Every structure is written in C-alpha cells, then in structure tokens.
Amino acid sequence: MFRYFSLNASLRQTYGERVQKIPLDAGFDCPNRDGAISREGCIFCNPSGSGSGMLKEGKDLLSQWTHWTEFQKRRYGARLFIGYLQSYSNTYGPIEKIAHTLSRLENLPGLAALSIGTRPDCLDDAKLRLLAAQKEKLNLNEIYLELGLQTAHDETLTHINRGHSVTDFKDMACRAADLGLNVVAHVIAGLPTPSGREGLAELLETVDFLNALPVRGIKFHNLYVCKGTRLAKLWKEGGYTPITLEEYCLWLGEALMHLSPAVVVHRLNGDPAPDELLAPEWAGAKRDVHNAIRTHLEKNHIWQGKKHEAVDGPPVHFAPDHKEHRA
Ligand code: SF4
C-alpha cells in the first residue's frame, strides 16, 4: 500500500519510467555565509557539507552530469534525469551569472526536468521569470523551485540565524507559483528555539501553513548535528538534545496525516554526508530510518491527508502506476 504521494510515484505517473535526480554544483555561494547577511550561516549548516565540492575539484557541469548519469544508468538503467542545482543558493548573485549557468544545461543528454535549490531572499521577479522560461527553452517537463522554509515560526528562524522571515518565503512561493514554477518547501523537525526545541505542535503548524500556499512539494528533514556547526557547539555544551527515532516517526506520521494529499513528498528524512554526523547516531542509518518510518505508518494505519479527507484509505493517485496524471 502506498501511504503517501512520493516523488517517485509522481515521476512514474508523468514519464512512465524511472527518473533519477542528478546533483550539480554550479559554484554559487550563500548570502548567509559570504557576509552579505552573515558569515555564521544557519545554526545547522556545515559549510563543507552544503556543497558537493565537485566544481572546486575541476569538474564542470557537463563532467558532473556525465559522472552521475553514467553511474545511474549502470545502477538503475535510468534514461531520464532531473538536473538538481543543489549546492548552496543557486539564484544568489547577478542574474547574468544565473542565466549563464542555465545556458550550460542546454543539450545535456537525458535532461527531463530541472530542480533549483535556493533561499527566498535570493530571488526577485526577473530571476523567477528567467527560471520559468527554462521550461520552454530547455524543453523540460517541470521546473522545481526548492525553497528553504524550515519552520513557519519567525522566532525559531531568528534563533537559528536563518536570515529570512516566514513572510519572505510566503511571498516568493506565491510569486513563483504564479509563473508556473513547481514550488517545493524544505522543512526541518526539531529545530532549536530560545526555550529549547521545536516539537510536534510547531511541525504541524508548519505543515498547515504550507497547505494554505501554492506549494506542490515538500522535503521533510530530521535535524541532526554535524561537525563544524554552531549546533555542534550547542549540543556539546548540553544546550541541544536531538530528537529520537521514535519521536521522529511519530511526528512525521502526524505531519503526513495533516499534509494535503495533493502535495508530493520529495523526502521523508535528512541524509547526512559520510563523516559529517555527530548526533543522533540513528540519523546515519538511512535504510533503518526508512524501515522504521514505513513500519510506523503501516502499524498505525497512517496515510498522507488522513486528517483532511473523509475516506477510509490512501487515495489511488499515490500509486506509481496510477495513470491519471501521465503526460
Ligand atoms: S541557507 Fe543553506 S548554505 Fe546558506 S547558511 Fe543556511 S544551510 Fe548553509
């Protein structure tokens, strides 16, 4: 039984086959790192973990594409790919730089869609129009705009030194959706607050906030402590306690039940890079975390949107072979 509307299902329905995401490092920076807003970064940000570093190793976008697509072809037999501008904030800086980066994606073999990770304060109308125009220019099915929100609580955003507000996110998500961009929100469970830590109530408020916006996708993350971050210092001093796996499963299950069944779930949990994780230990065991989440959903008869819809089971469109949305 498919208990949530996964990205995999959404892609299968659209393309009729497996589509793999390809991470790309285009050499962008972040205003919360380079001094424009601060040099501290978000409290959880690992500066070396936020980028793949492939560009610095001398691999341009075409080399990165070839490297990862060849691997995915061998491993999964994939033929179609989503180019994912992932490292740091990929709309930060002059529009000419962004346009130049996008022009280098023309003619990448197998490119079916584009995903652009950024912050709401690194966008304006001209940049949004440039991104939206790539759908026709690169002959793509979809342009995903991955926008960091993390939480719908300004007090927490200030505490974690996020450098933008909830209103900034709302404003940019609406303007992006108006131009046809597929907005995907990033959310983190268990963020530190001035009085301790966000809990289930704050996570559900964040989901409710997103349900009311033209947001078509969501990435859930559990907060983990990485080396070299200010969160690591707080954790070592006893000022932050990460959530347990049991708490995360419980919270995620509740969040899914509150989430609109139309929203595509791009991620269920965070995935630390090798060697960067300090705590909690469980966050590094990706397969075990997925199994624990699936078991929790099954055992408790949880499905996405359960608290919205008066139906007795998951909607049929959660199944990858559901054909209604296929292009
Ligand atoms: S926005 Fe991203 S790259 Fe910038 S400081 Fe925060 S986590 Fe790091």
0.75 surpassed by pTM:
yes
35 exposure class (CB count in 10 Å sphere: 0-12, 13-18, 19+): exposed
Q: What is the pLDDT of residue 49?
A: 54
With both helix axes pointing from N to C terminus, report the angle between 95-103 and 125-137 in degrees, rounded to the nearest 10: 10
With both helix axes pointing from N to C terminus, report the angle between 200-211 and 245-258 in degrees, rounded to the nearest 10: 30
- The number of C-alpha atoms within 13 Å of 24 and in the hemisphere containing its C-beta is 27
How crowded is residue 146: how many other Cβ atoms within 10 Å of its Cβ?
Answer: 20
Q: Which residues pair with 146 in a beta bridge?
A: 117, 184
pLDDT tens track for 201-233 = 999 999 999 999 999 999 999 999 999 999 999
Closest CA to 205 of 116, 242, 5, 193: 193
Closest CA to 115 of 85, 141, 87: 85
Q: Please list the ranges in the chain whose pLDDT falls under 70.
A: 49-53, 324-327
Is any ligand 1 atom within 6 A of the Cβ of residue 42?
yes
Q: What is the pLDDT of residue 50?
A: 57
The answer to whether 62 and 104 are in contact (CB under 8 A) is yes
Q: What is the pLDDT of residue 326?
A: 44
* Distances 119 to 116, 169, 269 between C-alpha atoms, Å: 10, 8, 20
Is any ligand 1 atom within 6 A of the Cβ of residue 33?
yes
What single string gives the DSSP state of each residue in 160-185? TT--S-HHHHHHHHHHHHHTT-EEEE
Please, which contacts does 159-162 make with residues 24 or more away whose CB atoms are closer than 8 Å? 159/43, 159/191, 159/192, 159/193, 159/194, 160/42, 160/43, 160/44, 160/191, 160/192, 161/32, 161/38, 161/40, 161/41, 161/42, 161/43, 161/230, 162/32, 162/42
Is any ligand 1 atom within 6 A of the Cβ of residue 117?
no
Is any ligand 1 atom within 6 A of the Cβ of residue 45?
yes
d(CA 21, CA 69): 9
Which of 25, 28, 29, 33 should be mutated for ligand 1, with most atoms under 8 A from CB? Answer: 33
The structure tokens listed for 324 are 């209604």
* Distances 56 to 145, 235, 261, 282 between C-alpha atoms, Å: 24, 31, 41, 31
Q: What is the pLDDT of residue 201?
A: 98
- The number of C-alpha atoms within 13 Å of 289 and in the hemisphere containing its C-beta is 22
Which of 25, 28, 30, 225 should be mutated for ligand 1, with most atoms under 8 A from CB? Answer: 30
Q: What is the pLDDT of residue 15?
A: 95
Cis peptide bond upstream of 280, omega within 30: yes
* Distances 79 to 8, 59, 104, 175, 244 between C-alpha atoms, Å: 15, 22, 20, 33, 38
d(CA 164, CA 213): 18
Centroid of ligand 1 to alpha carbon of 33 (angstroms) = 7
Q: Which residues pair with 221 in a beta bridge?
A: 188
Is any ligand 1 atom within 6 A of the Cβ of residue 260?
no
Q: What is the pLDDT of residue 309?
A: 76
Domains and CATH numbers, the chain: 7-318 (3.20.20.70)
